[in-house]
Amino acid sequence: MTDYITTFYGLSSAKCDWCKRVYNPHPDYCEPIPVKRITLSKNLSIYLCFSCFETETEKSKLNDNNLLNRIKEKSKTLKLVNLND
Ligand SMILES: [Zn+2]
């Protein structure tokens, strides 16, 4: 698909930047949460769990530019209010 979105399974440091989940919510799996890394710039990547990623994708109506802009804006806002530690 696109080279700025990478999917990781079993990444021990995995954590969703939106909902802060670190474990796979599925009861049959005891493992780190699968995440998608979205590369926004050279120094900035955002990790989202599949659930948050789906939500963002739906909200941006499957348009990659919208998706990246949405995530960029949201990460900026989170940084401003200091929730994105
Ligand atoms: Zn999430």
pLDDT digits (tens, 9 = 90+) for 62-83: 777 789 999 999 999 988 887 5
Q: What is the pLDDT of residue 14?
A: 96
Alpha helices in 1-85 (DSSP H): 50-59, 64-80
CB proximity list for 11: less than 8 A, separation 6 or greater? 32, 35
* Predicted pLDDT of residue 2: 60
Domain ranges, ordered by start, for the chain: 5-80
Residue 70's pLDDT is 92
Distance of CA 47 from the midpoint of ligand 1 (Å): 8
Q: How far apart are CA 43 and CA 48, in angstroms?
A: 17
Gap from CA of 21 to ligand 1 centroid (Å):
6
Distance 48 CA to ligand 1 centre (A): 5
pLDDT tens-digit map of 2-53:
678 999 999 999 999 999 999 998 888 889 999 999 999 888 899 999 999 9
* Joined tokens for residue 28: 């049959």
